[in-house]
């Protein structure tokens, strides 16, 4: 199990500050891109690639209606994974092919209210699944425990499962018995002592360095 931070902002200076801060403690960061259509919020777009340092792996979480437009703009080698939402209508087989050519791993995110029965076939295209702990769009929302009801169905696909959203020192105990490959943390890491908070989450998940 691995913990990585996420950055979700429309402000270039904040983006740079968070990158600098996270770069000290993490080798991978998830960057949230919101289009103001699929989610009611808008962030910086693919221009963030110009300010990402070489030494960090980027997981790109596309909270957008037209992922293809963003994927065709990928130009940095440090984008190692790209996550689209199962809820958007897109040709995921095509997207997968494009990402394979770029050497990028393909993830599909599943919202808390999404009924997996409709998407079990769709997720077979993905290399991993990102279960959302909140409705995407904003940091700092409350974890939705009901989303964990999808865990068994997701695990049965045989794909690694990530969890994104709503994780902090209070909610971490709700997920410690689940086998998530990666946990994505946003607002909890934004203020206070980052190293202390990271160690606290790791201890609660029995993660050893
Ligand atoms: C949800 C985003 C999450 C967010 C998590 O809109 O997709 O990645 O960054 O933030 P927290 O941890 O504050 O829920």
User: Nearest C-alpha to atom 7 of ligand 1 is from which residue?
Assistant: 136
Q: Evaluate if residue 209 carries a pLDDT over 80.
A: no
Q: Evaluate if residue 10 carries a pLDDT over 80.
A: yes
- How far is Cα 79 from Cα 117, in angstroms, rounded to an integer? 30
- For the segment 48-63, the average pLDDT, to the nearest whole number, is 94
Q: Which helix (H) or strand (E) holds 173?
A: helix 172-175
Is 127 designated active site? no
Q: Evaluate if residue 27 carries a pLDDT over 90.
A: yes
- For the segment 11-22, the average pLDDT, to the nearest whole number, is 96
User: Nearest C-alpha to atom 1 of ligand 1 is from which residue?
Assistant: 136
**Given pLDDT bands bounded at 50, 70 and 90, which one contains residue 77?**
confident
Q: Please indicate whether residue 46, judged by its CB atom, sits closer than 6 Å to ligand 1.
A: no
Q: Which atom of ligand 1 is nearest to the CA of 165?
A: 14
Stated pTM of the model? 0.97
Q: Please indicate whether residue 141, judged by its CB atom, sits closer than 6 Å to ligand 1.
A: yes
Beta-bridge mates of residue 173: none
Is 113 designated active site? no
- How far is Cα 69 from Cα 47, in angstroms, rounded to an integer? 13
- For the segment 138-155, the average pLDDT, to the nearest whole number, is 97
**Given pLDDT bands bounded at 50, 70 and 90, which one contains residue 108?**
very high
Tokens 């009801």 belong to: 149
CA of 165 to the centre of ligand 1 (A): 4
pLDDT at residue 208 in the model: 79
pLDDT at residue 76 in the model: 82
- How far is Cα 86 from Cα 76, in angstroms, rounded to an integer? 24
């Amino acid at each position: 199990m691995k913990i990585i931070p996420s950055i979700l902002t429309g402000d270039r200076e904040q983006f740079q500050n968070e990158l600098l801060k996270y770069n000290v403690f993490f080798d991978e960061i998830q960057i949230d891109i919101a289009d103001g259509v699929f989610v009611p919020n808008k962030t910086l777009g693919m221009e963030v690639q110009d300010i990402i340092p070489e030494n960090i792996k980027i997981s790109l979480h596309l909270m957008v209606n037209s992922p293809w437009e963003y994927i065709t703009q990928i130009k940095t080698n440090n984008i190692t994974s790209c996550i689209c939402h199962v809820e958007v209508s897109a040709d995921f087989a095509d997207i997968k092919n494009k990402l394979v050519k770029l050497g990028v791993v393909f993830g599909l995110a599943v919202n808390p209210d999404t009924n997996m029965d409709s998407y079990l076939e769709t997720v077979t295209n993905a290399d991993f699944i990102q279960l959302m702990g909140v409705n995407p769009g904003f940091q700092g929302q409350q974890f939705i425990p009901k989303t964990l009801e999808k865990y068994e169905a997701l695990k049965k696909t045989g794909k690694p499962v990530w969890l994104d959203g709503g994780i902090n020192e209070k909610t971490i105990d709700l997920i410690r018995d689940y086998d998530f490959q990666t946990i994505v943390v946003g607002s909890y890491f934004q203020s206070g002592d980052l190293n202390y908070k990271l160690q606290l989450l790791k201890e609660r998940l029995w993660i050893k360095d």
